[in-house]
């Protein structure tokens, strides 16, 4: 009887070790869970939405305008935020009466960032020029969002990854939730 118990426990231990050897690298280097907290991305994301963050893609490609990303807050890297990319490295973002105009080498006179998906707009104003490693991010609920308008550009090194899958609530399950294609 002891041999069966020892065999059972050694098999369980082996199973647990193999599982950890597979799951932990995926969890720490490929995908990370994230639970949305706060109103800054409403109505795109609500408090309690459960996301899986793709941590791998940005090692091979640069973040794109319109993508929803999770990042470490520049003023307190222990906190994680979720926002939408509006401005890319080297661009100038001009906010006038809530509209975002992007100036870059392709569009020296600027183009207006498509924000047709927004339910909330505001009347904020400002101009922000980004360095070669900075992004300009904003929440979809502009009046309730602490974002690049208040604390400045987001350094690329703070980006954890992009929202890859929404798992909760069940009615909103989907891949690349909240991403909106832009024409620019």
How many Å separate Cα 169 from the centre of its chain?
18
Is 40 noted as a catalytic residue in this protein?
yes
Say which DSSP state 60 is in: T
Token pair 């890859």 is at which residue? 164
Phi/psi zone of residue 9: left (φ > 0), alpha (ψ -120 to 50 degrees), beta? Answer: alpha
Q: How far apart, in whole angstroms, are the C-alpha atoms of residue 69 and residue 63?
A: 8
**Bond from prior residue into 28 cis (ω within 30 degrees of 0):** no
From residue 151, alpha-carbon distances to 59, 119, 138 in Å are 25, 23, 11
Instruction: Pick the catalytic residue from 10, 37, 40, 116.
Output: 40
Is 96 noted as a catalytic residue in this protein?
no
Instruction: Pick the catalytic residue from 83, 124, 145, 148.
Output: 83
184 touches 107 (CB < 8 A): yes
142 touches 124 (CB < 8 A): yes
Residues labelled catalytic: 40, 83
């Amino acid at each position: 009887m002891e041999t069966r118990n020892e065999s059972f426990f050694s098999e369980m231990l082996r199973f647990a070790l193999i599982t950890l050897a597979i799951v932990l690298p995926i969890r720490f280097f490929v995908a990370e869970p994230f639970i949305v907290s706060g109103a800054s991305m409403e109505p795109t994301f609500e408090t309690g939405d459960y996301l899986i963050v793709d941590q791998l893609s940005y090692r091979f490609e640069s973040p794109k305008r319109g993508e929803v990303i999770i990042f470490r807050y520049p003023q307190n890297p222990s906190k994680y935020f979720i926002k939408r990319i509006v401005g890319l490295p080297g661009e100038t973002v001009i906010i006038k009466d809530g509209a975002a105009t992007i100036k870059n080498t392709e569009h020296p006179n600027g183009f207006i960032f498509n924000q047709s998906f927004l339910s909330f707009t505001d009347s904020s104003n400002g101009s922000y020029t980004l360095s070669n490693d900075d992004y300009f991010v904003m929440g979809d609920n502009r009046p309730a969002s602490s974002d690049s308008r208040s604390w400045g550009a987001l350094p690329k090194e703070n980006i954890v990854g992009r929202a890859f899958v929404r798992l909760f609530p069940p009615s909103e399950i989907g891949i690349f939730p909240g991403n909106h294609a832009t024409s620019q």
